[in-house]
Amino acid sequence: MARKPVIFIPGFPASELHDGASGLTVFPPSLTTLLDSAKKQKFIGEVIDVPGALIAGPPITTILGIAKQAQSLYDIMGGHFGYDTSGVNPMEFAPIGWDWRKSISDGEVQRDIRDVLDLVSPNKTRNVVAILHSTGGLVFRAFLEANPSYARCFEQVLAFGVPWCGTLASLHAITEGESEGFLFIKLISAKESAWMISHAQAAYDLFPTDPSTSLFVADQSWMPNNYMRTLAANAHGPFARRFDALPVTNVCGWGVATFERCALKNGKLSFQATNQNLGDGTVPLVSSEWLQGSGVRSMYLPIGAYATNFIPRVHSQIWDSPPVLQLFDEVLNDRPRVPFICAAADGDDYIDYSRDVRLRLSAMAADGSPLPNCVANVSLSGGNTQVPMQSVRAEVLIRRANIHHNIDPDLYRFTVDFRWEGGHAQRAVLIRSV
């Protein structure tokens, strides 16, 4: 069976930046660059000089050759579905990097997307699948906004952790930044990080845009510099919440501490993550689930420890959570769509023997709607706890006192049996135990 052509648009700042003259990779920087103060300052200067001498390269595959970024997606596309992800054959898989220092609607990335689509769908025959990650979803919407006829190139969209109405992570990155280290060596300070990101137009395009959400901050008096105010004034405007142009499988992660609220006091922003962990670590659920449309199905994915993968896959690798393979199969191989059922232990509670364990459950019909009269039965140490799935997701607390290893010296296995009108499914859960 012929594989569907796929384009992939990564998030922010997840594309390489190359020297336009030499072609050498400037971002992400090498370890030798970051360990040399003079080289690091030169690197920072090149990044904040927009457009300067840098041009967009492909999506970043790994950081320092270790931390997987797009490579984790490529492993799935190649290992499970047979795609050539090298970029050599755009008729099969076309990764589209973009200069994240510029706007999400920048003309260069729009040209690059058009060029690929003119190649793989010259007659606009609805044969292409778009895989979008994070801010890449906004780049895609900006593209269709400016090039509406190209919507006819796409069969459907698979979106992961897209901040459809913005994210507080952008404000935090601009104001406070994130320090970066390697093997206990501090490579980039939070101040240096904030300085670089604050010069990127796309960071301002990510500011929350919906006043009805807890994310929105109308007062921009916290901005200390004129260049920031200019970039904020030039930010891309809010998108329409309604999107009926294409079928979208919209993956929304929850279960990790994520900034959900922001307050301005004495000219300074403060950020808060609630104990409900309503987000994927970067994008809050209120934004990833915000999109609506006749063909939009939002699929809620617990971020946590699964029976077949104990490592929680947060925002940057959200597609690597085991249940997501079902969605890939449905979109890429046209497998019959079935209910999406998940059970995962909280990633922190799972390994901490002193804590009770939060168990997160998701259950929804193939179209993303709640399953009728769905109840999750948690079978634990001879007992059974019923959890009515009053919406598509739920959380239940498992007491450590009821957990004693039963398959390995340090593992406890139990099952969650989901039952609804017309169907049932079972999911296994593993927890570290004594």
> What pLDDT score was predicted for residue 127?
97
Ramachandran angles phi, psi of 46, nearest 5°: -65, -40
Q: Are 231 and 277 in contact (CB under 8 A)?
A: no
Specify whether the CB–CB gap between 285 and 278 falls below 8 A.
yes
Q: What angle do CA 285, 288, 294 make, to 5 degrees?
A: 125
pLDDT at 186 over 70: no
pLDDT of 65 = 52
* Spatial separation of the C-alpha atoms in residues 50 and 277, rounded to whole Å: 36
Phi-psi domain of 192 (left: phi exceeds 0; alpha: psi -120 through 50; beta: other): alpha
Which whole-number Å values give the CA distances from 200 to 30, 181, 236, in the listed order? 21, 22, 13
In angstroms, rounded to a whole number, what is the distance separating the alpha carbons of residues 360 and 305? 10
Q: Which tens digit of pLDDT belongs to each residue from 222-281?
A: 999 999 999 999 999 999 999 999 999 999 999 999 999 999 998 899 999 988 899 999
Between residues 9 and 353, the one the model is more confident about: 9
Question: Domains plus CATH for the chain?
Answer: 6-303 (3.40.50.1820), 341-432 (2.60.40.1940)
Tokens of 422: 């017309």
The DSSP secondary-structure symbol of 237 reads: P
Q: Give the mean model confidence (pLDDT) for residues 335-360.
A: 94
Does the pLDDT at position 67 exceed 60?
Answer: no
Q: pLDDT for 304-324, tens place per residue? A: 999 998 889 999 999 999 999
